[in-house]
Structure 1
Amino acid sequence: MLEVTPIDEGWILRHDGAALPATVPGCVHTDLLAAGIIPDPFLGRNETDVAWVGRRDWTYETTLSPIPGGHEQTDLVFDGLDTAAEIRLDGQLLGSVRNMHRSHRFDITGLGGRLSVNFRSAYGEAEAVRGRLGERPNAYPEPFQYIRKMACSFGWDWGPTLVTAGIWKRVRLEHWSTARIARVRPVVTVEQGVGRVELHVDVERTRVEAGLTLGARIGGVRAEATVDGTSGVVRLEVPDVELWWPRGYGEQPLYDVELWLSHEGLLDIWRRRIGFRSVELDRGADEHGSGFTFVVNGERLFARGVNWIPDDVLPSRITRERYRTRLTQAADAGVDLVRVWGGGIYESEDFYDACDELGLLVWQDFPFACAAYPEEQPLRGEVEAEARENVVRLMPHPSLVLWNGNNENLWGFKDWGWEQRLAGDSWGEGYYLGLLPRVVAELDPTRPYTPGSPWSGSWDRHPNDPAHGTHHSWEVWNREDYADYRLHVPRFVAEFGWQAPPAYATLRRALPDEELAPDSPGMLHHQKADDGNGKLVRGLARHFPVPEQGFSEGDFDRWHYLTQVNQARAVAAGIEHWRSHWPVCAGTIVWQLNDCWPVTSWAAIDGDGREKPLYHELKRLYADRLLTLQPRGGGLVLAVINQATEPWKGRLTLRRMSVEGGVVAEAGVGFDAGARAVSDVRVPRELEPVGPKEFLVADADPGSDEGGGGGGLRALYFPMPDREVPYPRPRFDVSVSPGGERVTVTAHTLVRDLLLQADRLDPSVSADRGLVTLLPGERVTIGVRGWETLDHLDAETARSALYCVEPAR
């Protein structure tokens, strides 16, 4: 029987002649941090002070204990090495590696002694490859496309430049005899309630003459097969299987699969969990263009998505618990699809396990982003090897529903001047339109593949054509106001977003000694986007009064609040518009769910795990049922969006109101939205608000909840930007429950976008809701959780952490 010996203790890191204790899995940065050699790169401007780490070569060493007898072969297995390294055992070269995204195996039978892993600087490796293959264009000034490594290690417009090295995944010895299971490729299908599993097995042998048997079971179903040379296939049929569904559409039953290899006894065993479901991608042509609609178990979905980046720029620190926490936050916000973005990594099994259990669909990018990638050796062979390994590794997971060739590279070739600069040099097209679809078709025929995001399906059209395939909407934010989201109805919006700073407590931790201002040195260092603060201020100026000289130190709290409000409103403008056009538009994927360090960014959850107002707004925007008022056809339409399994019908109350609180006009209307459908209700002309002093309120009556979840929903429409609205000075009462677990606010005037920034009360505290608008006489109760240092909260203290839109100064 195969035996495993972990090698996770006794490692040292060589540094300037000294031997530092090293943690494996880990990386150079985490070991230097633990030894006190470098400061925390997430604090202040320390990132700059530790830049030298990425330019150095590093060596990890340990001693292998005597290898026990009784086995014919011993392999040294690295699940992940970051990135370019030579592996030596007692001075003998075992091999050289150059790919963070692959595992590596070496036969060390009969060997032992001092094990060393000598890492070359990723800069040195990338620059050497660039020197051999020539320059290629890139959206960022770092050479990440010349090395198979997490691209955002080299910095991004939301990430620091911390170029890592180290043994970032598990390392172990495997002792075995006769044969072992080298690879299992599970092809899982379901038809008419019968689940079919084909386990395509590759074996490695020490003895060619040995007869080998494969056996497998799923529940009470068992099957056997013989190994022909070095491969075999075990087929199982499981009757009456329960289907795996994305969250909101059904349950997520998972089945344990066990496969064993035997010869006069058990030799090796392989275990995974699978789910039975079908997935298709409808890209058919229609009168609107060509679509991009996920179909799971025959059910057409509007995908409610978020983009995922590595949750830490030092990815070896991401634990199973951290994955679970972050993905549970996504599910709790109504998300049903997570796109693993192409500038990061293939995530660990812990990530996909959590998605399987939570019912989160996974769109997996291959790791290519925002650059022209050479297709010559040594890169081409590495790309194919990593693709083959990771496609097979991730195949068991029912949550995985799409392979995507790259992020923005097809678009970049067309629009970013690459074609002229390349002058015929390779740039990745052969990967995205040739190699990768061939690998997916060969190994994983049950899942769709798309060459890139965005991609319109053909070079005959612009790659980012909103009428065809996937679309990235970045004119909004970069140049245009978020109201311009309403100018187009893309078939599927795979990226869009708006920036905001992280929570106040996150900023205070990251910039502990700084007088905070929008343009203070630390704030600017933790703003990586090109002209990011300028875009924030210009975005605010379209909606709110902005001081002529910009925001000063004394205005920081106001700037911080308003930028977070603007982020939530911008994303809401897009999602409400696009959801109201289902099924023409079949999905939105917000950029982005998470951050990898404390930074001003597009994230809904900041680098310390705190939820921004955008996060809470997503709960409303991605709920099964949503009301939204949309200017359309020269008037107003109330779109009743019902993504629930049951029809939704009932009554709506429409109130045309003045900002002083009076009702100008009122009417009740009926609505009837079918299951997974949108129903438009035309707002009568006499109820349309006029001028800056009026707005419209649409409420679903409490009884409008046939099928559940519909009563009490509200939509608001203000025809003018806030800077033109003569808001009354907000007046409200605040009360606090004993112990401080609940804060209740009662409005005496219109209170627009009230927000309790609970982390200002204590860094450990959070609120259970975000922005809320109250009409005169209405109240809201906000849950407060996480107290550590305080056991009570009074009304005045709570009031100090409450913010809302104020009248123009």
Structure 2
Amino acid sequence: MRKDFNIKLPAILFFLMSGIMLQFSGHVTFAQNQYELNEGWKCAPIKTVKDDGKTISKTGFSLAGWKPAVVPGTVLTTLLANKEIPDPFYGLNNEKIPDIYDTGREFYTYWFVKEFKEPFPANDDQVWLKFRGINYSCEIFLNGSKINTTAYEGMFLRQSFNITPFLSKDGNNRIAVIVHPPDPVGKANGGQGGDGMIAKNVSIQYTAGWDWIRPIRDRNTGIWDKVYIEKTRSVNLKDPHIITLVPGRRTPEGNQQPAVIKVTADLENPGNKPVEGLLQYVIEGNKVSKKVSLAPHTTKTITLDDFTLKNPKLWWPAGYGKQYLYKAQLQFLEKGNIQSDSETVTFGVREIQTDWNATTGSRQIYVNGQKIFIKGGNWIISDAMLRFSEERYDAEVRFHRDMNLNLIRIWGGALVERPEFYQACDKYGMLVFQDFWISGDCNGRWVDPQKKEDQWTRRKYPDNHTLFLKSAEDMIKMVRNHPSLAIWCGGNEITPPEDILVPLRDSILPKLDGTRWFVEYSNSDSMSYNSLGGNGDGPYGIQPISTFWENRTFPFNSEVGSVGIGDYESLKRFIPKENLNVPKFGTSDKPDSVWTYHTYTGVGYNQYIEPYGPSKDIKDFALKAQLVNYDQYRGLIEGFSAHMWEWYTGVIIWKTQNPWTAMRGQMYDYYLDPNACLYGLKSGSELLHVMCNPVDGMVMIVNNDFKPYRNLMLVVKTYDISGKEKLVTQVFSNIEPASFKKYFSVKKTIDDMGKDSGVFLSLQLLDENKKVLSDNFYWYPDAKGNYSGLNNMQKADNLKVTARKQSEGKIEVTLTNPSNNPVAFFNRISLVNEQTRERVLPTFYDDNYISVSPGTEKRVILEYKPDNQKTVISIEGWNLPQKYISIEK
């Protein structure tokens, strides 16, 4: 298996932008004797191939003129890898690629061929060909024979074929797969999901375009997920299922009362003879087993006896405790001693419950008996062209953990996320709210003149309800063992049709899972009672910070927010040089076509940048945008936290990532480069957090933790523009678990000190050892609402910056500001290549866009995947010219 992923910037550009598919290097559930078919594929468009599948799949058929194919991948990733199309994520290149609606489906219908060696098995051994995802329909041939005797269609459906009888006697084999696009493909007319027709399929809906993405020209046609060969003896062990029961209210520390482990698995006997044997698993040295008899040509679900795990190590959401993971190896032993097949399952011991909060009018979530205030982010998909990798998933989920979030919602216009995504969520403690493939936009919640068919017709989408339910069953089985999976959801802003919803809710999920909350749609009254009117979520777009504190919204809000362009370095990666100008979005201005194509929402956003003064150039504009980003997301999450358990039980930001180069709702860009949104959100989402209400100046502490905090020192200071410090107060305080506490208002102090030039406010919480537990730094405008003082700040040239290597891939940066200096304001630290000065991506900073008060010191720890490139630290701030710092060994 390839492990050549290297996420520095040149590597990202090479791998992601060239369309080369990177492979996962691990599985959460995996067979012991399997391998992937992920290299050496060739392809050709159907219009150039006159022969049929039986002929093409014979090893003697010539593939001269066929081109290398990307599998897993799509037709577009293959065309990009072969340099037949320009990078669709750059500039207006996507407009240069033919759209399938205009070309017809045949244009993107392709043959994919792969040769592999696998000897013909001896005795009763079996060989299986497994597909984890094809979009949309296909026919499969092997060595001159058709393998799928029934239709194989649907983007979200795994298929496994027993190919034992079709293998070549000499061990040389060839697979040929013809892949057809979705039907219909939908017209990309600028609507949400285009004309809506894409939703007639059981597939991704965003490919026809949305307000945050442009159309994917091939609609993601291809063998887009993994292909395996698996070898077993006479019995195939599949779809193991592990449920953990954790009764009572637990704490992360100390000895635990027992937990109950419940295990089932499916056993398939494809042969002509009955088989007897033993199904067993081992956990922590303990063996649980059961005798089994299997009739020929049958599949049976076997339930093992419950196992009581003493003093279990529990799995907790991020911030609350460790994410301990167990491994259990399941085996089927023929005659009790010959291994036929085995699977290893990684799982966490935890239990999720919910109940109704009558005060807020919404659902609240418990993990291991502890109530969790949900702070989440909406997720679309890792890459719009389905170029997935374990490393990219790991980086993106880690960013969400680093934002101090505890949940990711998978939006219903995309997919059930891959096991490798869930593996990262298990690792980092992110709960997952998983939608099925329905959206209010395409599936008829609203009247929409851009849709081809009326609401009544769209309400029945997709066309094949049986396929939807079959796909749902399969995807449930694929991810149900992950402790991070917390919530199933029928669809985005609308339920599935009744004959899908009822069996999904009442029979399929109880039978195949039965342990998680099912919400019928993402803003359902059963999740968040909507007493305010409207659609049950929002507001969207940039808001006055006071909105999040004063205006009550939906008590478990599944979508709120949406700003956040990247900085200058980010913009340069996808906007051509001639378009890198300060965007104009006034009433008489004609917006730049590249900026609007990449979904820049200038109206509203620009007016929040203007108080910082006219932008001298695009770099200055992008820096000021980061100030807006930071302030917006810190204020959003603080406002919700200030009313937790009284107004709210949770909030999920729309949205926290982009699967392409858009500028709408992202904490880091497509290239995995974080912007100030991430760090503003990180600050405001702290488990223990000190903050200030922007409306009345009330200083508050919020404690999301399970434990109380005693003898905290609350320190409140102000700094004027020259850096002069004033201690407002410092007092001892206690705060109880899952609560917030108001102290006093600093509004008059802020108004008086800042009326001419603005002012800085520093809030800190210290423990008894004077360790800083929460550090929050605000900047305020003058009496006219302008940040006039910031534009007159002295340079912080005397800021001392050192960088020291702590260990391989880990660097400590120290910023020391002399007492006679001004505030060193809003500094971005970057790890860069020494020669090119390009950022090393992804790099993870425990803080960034930081301000250092006079006479103080701050440390930032950064981590990255080291390679052979030489690196230095770059730092640049509002009043600190860019400088480069060598890294001490």
- TM-score above 0.5: yes
- Please tell me whether the aligned partners of residues 758 and 801 of structure 1 are also in contact (alpha carbons under 8 angstroms): no
One of 135, 138, 144 as aligned partner of 1:82:
135
Worse-superposed segment, 53-62 or 351-360: 53-62
Matched, 1:194 2:258: yes
- Please tell me whether the aligned partners of residues 261 and 268 of structure 1 are also in contact (alpha carbons under 8 angstroms): yes
Match of 1:104 in 2: 159
- Please tell me whether the aligned partners of residues 246 and 368 of structure 2 are also in contact (alpha carbons under 8 angstroms): no
Distance in 2 separating the partners of 1:386 and 1:707: 55
Match of 2:209 in 1: 155
Matched, 1:300 2:371: yes
One of 300, 304, 312 as aligned partner of 1:234:
304
Distance 1:472 1:429, change over 3 A: farther
Amino acid in structure 2 at the alignment position of 1:435: L
Matched, 1:145 2:195: no
Find the residue that maps to 2:135 and give its secondary structure: coil
- Please tell me whether the aligned partners of residues 77 and 171 of structure 1 are also in contact (alpha carbons under 8 angstroms): yes
Match of 1:620 in 2: 683
Distance 1:318 1:374, change over 3 A: same
Q: Deviations over 1:87-111 (max 9, x none)?
A: 2342636243222221112343422
Matched, 1:729 2:792: yes
Matched, 1:762 2:829: no
Write out aligned runs for 1:446-457 (5 A).
Answer: 446-457=515-526
Distance in 1 separating the partners of 2:92 and 2:876: 37
Residue ranges of structure 1 left out of the alignment (5+ in a row): 411-426, 803-809
Match of 2:571 in 1: 507
Amino acid in structure 1 at the alignment position of 2:276: G
Distance 1:448 1:703, change over 3 A: closer
- Please tell me whether the aligned partners of residues 78 and 171 of structure 1 are also in contact (alpha carbons under 8 angstroms): yes
Find the residue that maps to 2:392 and give its secondary structure: helix
CA-CA distance at 1:576 after TM superposition: 0.9
Match of 2:38 in 1: 8
Match of 1:283 in 2: 356
Match of 2:334 in 1: 263
Match of 2:478 in 1: 393
Match of 1:403 in 2: 488
Find the residue that maps to 2:692 and give its secondary structure: strand
Distance in 1 separating the partners of 2:370 and 2:592: 46
Amino acid in structure 2 at the alignment position of 1:276: V
Write out aligned runs for 1:339-418 (5 A).
Answer: 339-369=409-439, 370-372=441-443, 375=460, 378-409=463-494
RMSD of the alignment, in Å? Answer: 3.9
CA-CA distance at 1:675 after TM superposition: 2.8
- Please tell me whether the aligned partners of residues 736 and 795 of structure 1 are also in contact (alpha carbons under 8 angstroms): no
Amino acid in structure 2 at the alignment position of 1:88: F
Find the residue that maps to 1:363 and give its secondary structure: strand
Amino acid in structure 1 at the alignment position of 2:756: K
Find the residue that maps to 1:623 and give its secondary structure: coil
Find the residue that maps to 1:472 and give its secondary structure: coil
CA-CA distance at 1:180 after TM superposition: 1.6
Distance 1:399 1:685, change over 3 A: closer
Amino acid in structure 1 at the alignment position of 2:570: T
Match of 1:314 in 2: 385
Worse-superposed segment, 367-376 or 622-631: 367-376
Write out aligned runs for 1:531-570 (5 A).
Answer: 532-540=601-609, 543-544=611-612, 555-570=617-632
Distance in 2 separating the partners of 1:462 and 1:588: 14
CA-CA distance at 1:278 after TM superposition: 1.4
- Please tell me whether the aligned partners of residues 354 and 364 of structure 2 are also in contact (alpha carbons under 8 angstroms): yes
Q: Deviations over 1:467-517 (max 9, x none)?
A: xxx95222553xx54432221154223222232322322322323443412
Distance in 2 separating the partners of 1:334 and 1:91: 53
CA-CA distance at 1:577 after TM superposition: 1.2
Matched, 1:173 2:229: yes
CA-CA distance at 1:640 after TM superposition: 0.8
Match of 2:661 in 1: 598
CA-CA distance at 1:64 after TM superposition: 5.8
CA-CA distance at 1:401 after TM superposition: 1.3
Match of 1:442 in 2: 511
Match of 1:418 in 2: none
Matched, 1:488 2:562: no
- Please tell me whether the aligned partners of residues 698 and 716 of structure 1 are also in contact (alpha carbons under 8 angstroms): yes
- Please tell me whether the aligned partners of residues 196 and 442 of structure 2 are also in contact (alpha carbons under 8 angstroms): no
Worse-superposed segment, 719-728 or 349-358: 719-728
Match of 2:652 in 1: 589
CA-CA distance at 1:743 after TM superposition: 6.1
User: TM-score, normalised to structure 1's length?
Assistant: 0.83
Distance in 1 separating the partners of 2:724 and 2:391: 50
* Matched positions, count: 761
Find the residue that maps to 1:198 and give its secondary structure: strand
- Please tell me whether the aligned partners of residues 504 and 759 of structure 1 are also in contact (alpha carbons under 8 angstroms): no
Match of 2:704 in 1: 643
Distance in 2 separating the partners of 1:120 and 1:393: 24
Distance 1:753 1:534, change over 3 A: farther
- Please tell me whether the aligned partners of residues 406 and 429 of structure 2 are also in contact (alpha carbons under 8 angstroms): yes
Match of 1:579 in 2: 641
Q: Deviations over 1:94-143 (max 9, x none)?
A: 24322222111234342256532212233x44459x9xxxx9x9564453
Amino acid in structure 1 at the alignment position of 2:74: C
- Please tell me whether the aligned partners of residues 376 and 406 of structure 2 are also in contact (alpha carbons under 8 angstroms): yes
CA-CA distance at 1:463 after TM superposition: 8.6
Distance in 1 separating the partners of 2:877 and 2:201: 56
Match of 2:22 in 1: none
- Please tell me whether the aligned partners of residues 728 and 750 of structure 1 are also in contact (alpha carbons under 8 angstroms): no
Find the residue that maps to 1:710 and give its secondary structure: strand
Worse-superposed segment, 431-440 or 146-155: 431-440
Match of 2:849 in 1: 771
CA-CA distance at 1:695 after TM superposition: 6.3
Distance 1:140 1:200, change over 3 A: same
Amino acid in structure 2 at the alignment position of 1:762: R
CA-CA distance at 1:801 after TM superposition: 4.0
Distance 1:14 1:463, change over 3 A: farther
Distance 1:189 1:26, change over 3 A: same
- Quote the sequence identity (%): 19
Find the residue that maps to 1:628 and give its secondary structure: strand
One of 16, 33, 50 as aligned partner of 2:80:
33
Amino acid in structure 1 at the alignment position of 2:849: L
Matched, 1:69 2:121: yes
Distance in 1 separating the partners of 2:368 and 2:33: 40
Amino acid in structure 2 at the alignment position of 1:84: S
Distance in 2 separating the partners of 1:795 and 1:363: 38
Distance 1:696 1:798, change over 3 A: closer
CA-CA distance at 1:299 after TM superposition: 1.0
Distance 1:640 1:2, change over 3 A: closer
Amino acid in structure 1 at the alignment position of 2:643: H
Distance in 2 separating the partners of 1:117 and 1:767: 41
Q: Deviations over 1:208-254 (max 9, x none)?
A: 63334312221222222233652321122222222211222222222
Match of 1:24 in 2: 71
Q: Deviations over 1:31-66 (max 9, x none)?
A: 222222222222222112223468521111234657
CA-CA distance at 1:747 after TM superposition: 8.6
Amino acid in structure 2 at the alignment position of 1:402: I
CA-CA distance at 1:608 after TM superposition: 0.8
Worse-superposed segment, 394-403 or 59-68: 59-68
CA-CA distance at 1:153 after TM superposition: 3.0
Residue ranges of structure 2 left out of the alignment (5+ in a row): 1-30, 49-64, 168-172, 249-256, 295-299, 444-457, 585-589, 805-812, 884-889
- Please tell me whether the aligned partners of residues 690 and 765 of structure 2 are also in contact (alpha carbons under 8 angstroms): no
Distance in 2 separating the partners of 1:561 and 1:697: 18
User: TM-score, normalised to structure 2's length?
Assistant: 0.76
Distance in 1 separating the partners of 2:508 and 2:196: 29
Distance in 2 separating the partners of 1:115 and 1:595: 35
